[in-house]
Amino acid sequence: MWWLDNVLFFVAFLLGLGLFSYRVWRIVQVIRLGKPSEVSFSFGRMVGKVVRYALIQEKMFQRPIPALLHYLVFAGFFIVNLEMVEVFVDALTDEHRFFARRLGEVYPYLVSFLELFAVFVIIACVIFILRRTVVGVRRFRAPEIDRHSWLDALFILVAVPILMVFILLMNGADWVLIERGVLDVAFREGRFWLSSLWAPAVLGSLSEGTLHVLSRVGWWGHNLLMFGLLAYLPHSKHLHMVFSFVNVALTPEVPRGAMRPLPEVQKVLQTYLGVEGSGGEEELPERFGAKDVPDLPWKSILDAFTCTECGRCTSECPANLTGKKLSPRKIVMNVRDRAEEILRYWAKNGRDGLPEGSLFSYISREELYACTTCQACVEACPVNINPLTIILEMRRYLALDAGQAPREWTLMFSNLENNGAPWQFPPEARVQWLRSPQQK
Ligand code: SF4
Ligand code: SF4
C-alpha cells in the first residue's frame, strides 16, 4: 500500500496549489479592473529592483534589529524548505531520504545547515510574537489593525515555527535510526548537527517502530502544513511573500517626488479648444480621479494586495505624527478591503457590475485632505508601495468631479481663474506695493 501514501501526498499538494492558484487568479481579475498604469518593464532594472528591495530588503535595514529578524524568517523559511525538493523526490521514488544514499559526506552538512536555519527561524518568530503580544509595539496597535489583521499576523508567526519543529522531529527520529544502522545512508563520518545533540538523549529509548512513526509524523505534519499555508497565503497579508517580487519589479522609474500629471484634464482642454487630433467629446474620460477601485491605476490595486501592514509608512507620516486622522497604511488596506468586497460580490453575482458603495465608504475626506504630499510614506515602504497615488487620485475626484474641495481651495481656484494668482486681487494691483503711500 506504499502507493496510497504517495497518492495522498500528491492529492494534498495539488489541492493546496489549486486553491492558491484559483485565489491568485481572482485577485488578478480585480487588479485588471484598474486603469493603465505607469510601470517599468526594463528587464535589467526589474532584476536590479528585485535584488535590492525583495531579496536584500534594503529599505528594511533602516531599522536593523527587526530587519535582521525578519530576514532570518524570510531567508530561513526558503532555505529550510529546500527540504521540499527531497520530499518530492522521495514521494516520486518511494524512498525515504533519497539524497542520503547518493550525496555521500555532503548530505549531513546540508541537513545540519537546514537545521541551523530552522533554529534561527524559531527564535526570530518567538521574538516577533513577543513584540506583538507582550511588548506591544505602537505600529501594531493602530486602529486599522483590527482583530482579523492581528490574528492573521499571529497565525503565521505560530505556524512557521511549527513547520520547523516537524522537520526537526523527523530529523531527530531519523538520526536515531541511522545510528542504529536501520536507515541506510552513504555517509560514515558526518552527523546531523542539532539532531545528534538532542535526539539520542530524548528518543534513544524508543522502539524502532515508534521512531518510524515519529519520522512519518514529522514528514506528514510538515507537508500538510506547507500545503495548507499555500492555500491560506493569498487570503492573508503574507501574500507579500509572492507579490512583493512582482510589485518592486514593476515600480516605475520616476524622479523622487514626481507626481502623475493629469492627461485627462489636458484632453478635455484640448477637446474644448478644438485642438487638432484631440478627438471628440465621446472620447472624454468618464470621471477625473478615483471614486472606486476601477478608477485607480492597476498598480495601486496590486500595491494594496502587496501591503505587509508593517506600518512603516504611517510611522513616518507627518500628518499622522501630528495627530491627524490620516494613516497611509489604512488607506492602502482600505483599497484592499474594497477590492475584497468586489470579489465577494462577483462570487455571488457573476463578474458584472460593482457592489454598492465606493472607496469613500472606507476613506473619509478628512483623511485625504490631511495629506501634505510629502512622500515620506513612499520612501519608507519596504516593498515600494505608493499610498500617495491613491490619496491624490481620490482628492482629484473630490476636487474636479464631485466639487467637494475645501472652501479655501475653491476660493484659490476661482482666484487663479479670475486673477491669474491665488490671491483675491486683480492683476493690475500686483505691483501696488512698489508705490509710495502718496502714489496709491
Ligand atoms: S505623502 Fe501624505 S500620507 Fe504620505 S507621509 Fe506624507 S502626509 Fe503622510
Ligand atoms: S504601505 Fe508599505 S510601509 Fe505601509 S504598511 Fe504597507 S507595506 Fe508597510
Taking domain 271-425, whether its CATH number is 1.10.1060 is answered by yes
Most informative mutation of 307, 388, 395 for ligand 1 (most atoms within 8 A of CB): 388
Q: How far is the CA of 398 from the centre of ligand 1 (A)?
A: 18
pLDDT per residue of the chain (440 residues) written in tens, 0 to 9 = 567 788 899 999 999 999 999 999 999 999 999 998 887 778 889 999 999 998 888 888 888 888 888 888 888 888 887 888 888 888 888 888 889 888 888 999 999 999 999 999 999 999 999 988 888 777 788 888 888 998 999 999 999 999 999 999 999 999 999 999 888 888 888 889 999 999 999 999 999 999 999 999 999 999 999 999 999 999 999 999 999 999 999 998 887 777 777 777 887 888 878 777 777 776 777 788 999 999 999 999 999 999 999 999 999 999 999 999 999 999 999 999 999 999 999 999 988 889 999 999 999 999 999 999 999 999 999 999 999 999 999 999 999 888 888 888 888 988 888 888 888 888 888 787 777 666 65
Give the atom of ligand 1 at the shortest distance from the alpha carbon of 313.
5
What SS3 class is residue 35? strand
Sign of CA dihedral 163, 166, 172, 178: negative
Three cell numbers, residue 57 = 530588503
Report the C-alpha gap between 316 and 381 in whole angstroms.
Answer: 10
**Is the beta carbon of 240 within 6 A of some atom in ligand 2?**
no
Closest-approaching ligand to the CA atom of 330: 2
Residue boundaries of the structural domains of the chain: 2-32+63-235, 271-425
**Are the C-beta atoms of 409 and 396 separated by less than 8 Å?**
no
Helix, strand, coil tally for the chain in percent (to 5)? 70, 0, 30
Spatial neighbors of 283 by CB under 8 A, at least 6 apart, are 267, 271
**Is the beta carbon of 322 within 6 A of some atom in ligand 1?**
no
**Is the beta carbon of 60 within 6 A of some atom in ligand 2?**
no
Looking at ligand 2, which residue's alpha carbon is closest to its atom 2?
381
Residue 279, burial from CB neighbour count under 10 angstroms (0-12, 13-18, 19+): exposed
Three cell numbers, residue 382 = 519596504
Sign of CA dihedral 3, 77, 380, 310: positive
Vertex 264, ends 262 and 266: CA angle to 5°? 75
DSSP secondary structure letters along 214-225? HHHHHHHHHHHH
Alpha-helical segments (H) within 131-257: 147-179, 195-203, 208-232, 240-249
At residue 115, the pLDDT reads: 93
Three cell numbers, residue 64 = 536593523
Which among 6, 10, 55, 26 is positioned nearest to 346, based on CA atoms?
A: 26
What SS3 class is residue 266? helix
**Is the beta carbon of 133 within 6 A of some atom in ligand 1?**
no
Three cell numbers, residue 416 = 487663479
Q: How far is the CA of 372 from the centre of ligand 1 (A)?
A: 6
Alpha-helical segments (H) within 350-406: 365-369, 376-380, 387-396
